Amino acid sequence: MAPWNPRTEEMPLDDLRRLQFKLLKSLVYRLYSFNDFYRRRMKEQQVHPDDIRALEDVAKLPFMYKSDLRDGYPDRIFSAEQNELVRYHVSSGTTGKPTVVGYTERDIENWSESLARAFSSCGLGRGDVMQVSYGYGLFTGGLGAHYGAERVGATVLPTSVGNTERQIELMQDLRVTAIACTPSYLLHIGEVAEKMGVSIKNDTDLRMGFLGAEPWSEQMRGRIEDWLGIRAYDIYGTSELSGPMFTECAEQQGIHIWGDLALVEIVDPATGEVLEAGEQGELTITMLQKEALPMVRYRIGDLTAVEEGTCACGRTHPRIGRIRGRVDDMLIVRGINVFPSQVEHALLEIPQVGRHFQIVVDRKGALDSMLVRVEVSEEAFSDKITDLMVIKKAVEHRLRSSLNVSVDVELVEPGTLPRFEGKSKKVVDRRSL
Amino acid sequence: MEKSYIVKQISIFSENRPGRLAAIAGALRDAGINILAFSIAEADGFGVVRALVDRPEDAYRTLTDLGFRVSFTDVIGVKMRDEPGGLSDIASILGDAGINIEYAYAYSGKDAAVLILRVDQVEDAVRQILARGGELLKASLSR
């Protein structure tokens, strides 16, 4: 698909790296001069802006964490005065105090530009109708996708989350061609549509989805694409970066991170050491042009790897692979690191059980126990207990071999595992530590 | 011929926790469906409720609409004398015919006692039982 901004998107890698260095250097000087919080951090780490002599010197700079935003609540680490801001967003604060992010006019402009490049790399443009089923309001998803889609000339239908039957009616009546929402909400839409007697594949014009705000997998993509008859693209971002910012292109070979806006590093979650391209680690991003709330070496907590090299689509900017999980979602069960995404991957390879699951971790005596609850699929249900026990054992075996920890599987009735309309909560940890 | 003796049992997946049988039975009551016989097989945390009902198709639709996982299973009902030795007579016929039972349950009704059987080769079993003088429940009785 044709680039939105060809000069930038197809810039030779050497030129891109020179541009990144220039932007980094001016960012660091600006912060050292005007941002009390980050100057203090740099002094603690005994690094001065003059120490940044090459792009690789970014590794000398101190990290930033989510806790820095919480501690600086609401706006103590901002680099702009309130009268320069055009918007706030506020994170939900499900894992602690809420965090506030602010935007100057230029921050909103760059956010929209980033998504305009992303959406057009998948072929979204004038003539499309984009249903934005991310939440509008304090959450960045709704307004972010909204501005990006308007920028490329698409017609936006701002449905936000909820009232799913109405969303499906509008999708049909207004001939929606694209949707932005969480993958679990799109599955929910598909299920509700079927109950209404509507096939998304045959009875709507929907042809693409921008799915994110929670981890999902290649197998899940395959199911969504086959079932709903659409192309499903991964979209990525967090409120600290601005919001949803980056997507895959039509090649579906990783998420393009626009290098003039964001500098990507992958670091070892334990040591903070920078890892090579291709190695899995914690995604760390420096926002090179953000004005209101600068983020330098921000440890996002998502696990992925970076891929360098020009994409088949011709864009030169680095790409990140699928998010493999959260550093802080990681469960430690009997000393073994377990990510819910691993369970999801394993289950998608077992047709006898459904795609929804719940993990329950408990402690019996001194020993951790891990239970995975799954729904028996319609095709696999048998009136014979022995057949069902075979399924249960097969799922236990499959999970054990991919997680390296023994797992009990519980077969539950269909529709009883929670379907969430937002970020999925798939883990119940009952251990009192 | 054999087909007229093959009875449609409904089998329902159920979690092993209080209230699940009540939910199933309540749904059938509300739909005006009569349960002729039933059994519960239990395993680790779940079970399968098996039932013969007067309107299997309606029962299937009612329970499926409520979100239950339901399937039909072909079973046969062998009539027994409702007096000492009744089960023994039938069990001998099955044994002599080399019929292996996957599972079985029984009820004692107005006319006779009936042994409900899930077997491997259901049509073959029908032939064998009839050839050895056994009497089978007609599928039409459960309509």
- A426 vs chain B: nearest CA distance in angstroms? 19
CATH code for the domain defined by A1-326: 3.40.50.12780
A352 contacts on B by Cβ (under 8 Å): none
User: Quick check: A413 and B103 CB within 8 A?
Assistant: no
| Domain spans in chain A, listed from the N-terminal domain onward | 1-326, 331-429
Go through A200-223 and write b for each residue having 16 or more CB atoms within 10 A of its CB, e for each that does not: beeebebbbbbbbbbbbbeebbeb
- Any CB–CB contact under 8 A between B15 and chain A? yes
- B39 vs chain A: nearest CA distance in angstroms? 11
Q: Supply the pLDDT for residue A93.
A: 63
Minimum CA–CA partner of A373 in chain B: B45
Q: Supply the pLDDT for residue B64.
A: 94
- Any CB–CB contact under 8 A between B60 and chain A? no
B40 contacts on A by Cβ (under 8 Å): none
Are A232 and A215 within 8 A, CB to CB? no
B66 contacts on A by Cβ (under 8 Å): none
Top-level class of domain A331-429? alpha beta
User: Quick check: A411 and B71 CB within 8 A?
Assistant: no
Token look-up 């399968």 returns B48
User: Quick check: B44 and A389 CB within 8 A?
Assistant: yes
B104 contacts on A by Cβ (under 8 Å): none
Percentage of residues in chain B having pLDDT higher than 90:
62
Distances (CA, A) of B50 to A41, A44, B14, B75, B137: 68, 71, 10, 11, 17
- A383 vs chain B: nearest CA distance in angstroms? 5
- Ramachandran region, residue A201 (left: φ > 0; alpha: ψ -120 to 50; beta: rest): alpha
Minimum CA–CA partner of A383 in chain B: B11
- B84 vs chain A: nearest CA distance in angstroms? 30
d(CA B66, CA B52): 19
CA nearest neighbour of A295 among A269, A327, A328, A262: A262
- Phi, psi (5° rounding) for residue A336? -105, 135
pTM of the entire structure? 0.67
Distances (CA, A) of A284 to A81, A302, A305, A310, A333: 26, 9, 11, 21, 26
Q: Supply the pLDDT for residue A332.
A: 80
B68 contacts on A by Cβ (under 8 Å): 413-414
User: Quick check: B48 and A385 CB within 8 A?
Assistant: yes
- How far is CA A417 from its chain centroid? 23
Lowest mean pLDDT among A288-292, A412-416, B51-55, B58-62: A412-416
The better pLDDT of the pair B97, A149 is held by A149
Q: Return the residue in B46, B60, B120 with the most chain A beta carbons within 10 A, the one to mutate for interface testing.
A: B46
Which of B13, B41, B50 has its CB closest to that of A413? B13
B105 contacts on A by Cβ (under 8 Å): none
User: Quick check: B50 and A378 CB within 8 A?
Assistant: no
User: Quick check: A411 and B13 CB within 8 A?
Assistant: yes
Q: Return the residue in B17, B21, B39, B69 with the most chain A beta carbons within 10 A, the one to mutate for interface testing.
A: B69
Q: For chain B, give the number of residues.
A: 143
d(CA A128, CA A29): 43
Q: Return the residue in B48, B74, B100, B102 with the most chain A beta carbons within 10 A, the one to mutate for interface testing.
A: B48
Q: Do the first three CATH levels of B4-73 and B75-142 match, i.e. the same topology? A: yes
Stretch B96-105: mean pLDDT: 90
DSSP letter assigned to residue B34? P
Mark which residues 380-419 of A lie under 8 Å from B by CB. 381-385, 388-389, 392, 410-416
Six token digits for residue A385: 């207990």
- How many C-beta neighbours within 10 Å does residue A176 have? 23
d(CA A265, CA A281): 9
- Any CB–CB contact under 8 A between B69 and chain A? yes
Residue B141 binned pLDDT confidence (cut-offs 50, 70, 90): low
pLDDT at B143 over 60: no
d(CA A267, CA A85): 32
Q: Supply the pLDDT for residue A183.
A: 93
B56 contacts on A by Cβ (under 8 Å): none
Top-level class of domain B75-142? alpha beta
- A187 vs chain B: nearest CA distance in angstroms? 17
Q: Count Cα neighbours of B86 within 13 Å in the Cβ-side half-sphere.
A: 15
Go through A331-340 and write b for each residue having 16 or more CB atoms within 10 A of its CB, e for each that does not: bebeeeebbb
d(CA A293, CA A31): 10
| Domain spans in chain B, listed from the N-terminal domain onward | 4-73, 75-142
Dihedral angle computed from the Cα positions of residues A278, A293, A61 and A32, in that order, rounded to the nearest 10 degrees: 160
Averages of pLDDT over runs of 10 residues in chain A (433 residues) are: 94 96 97 95 96 96 94 94 96 76 98 98 98 95 97 98 95 98 94 96 98 86 96 96 97 97 93 91 96 96 92 96 81 80 84 90 88 92 93 94 91 83 69 71
User: Quick check: B15 and A381 CB within 8 A?
Assistant: no
- B21 vs chain A: nearest CA distance in angstroms? 13
Dihedral angle computed from the Cα positions of residues A59, A304, A131 and A190, in that order, rounded to the nearest 10 degrees: -170
d(CA A394, CA A398): 6
Determine the 3-state secondary structure of A193 from DSSP: helix
d(CA A200, CA A194): 8
d(CA A158, CA A54): 44
Number of inter-chain CB pairs under 8 A, A vs B: 55
Are A181 and A151 within 8 A, CB to CB? no
User: Quick check: B15 and A416 CB within 8 A?
Assistant: yes
Burial of A276 (0-12, 13-18, 19+ CB in 10 A): exposed
d(CA A292, CA B3): 78
User: Quick check: B71 and A381 CB within 8 A?
Assistant: yes
B67 contacts on A by Cβ (under 8 Å): 413-416
CATH code for the domain defined by B4-73: 3.30.2130.10
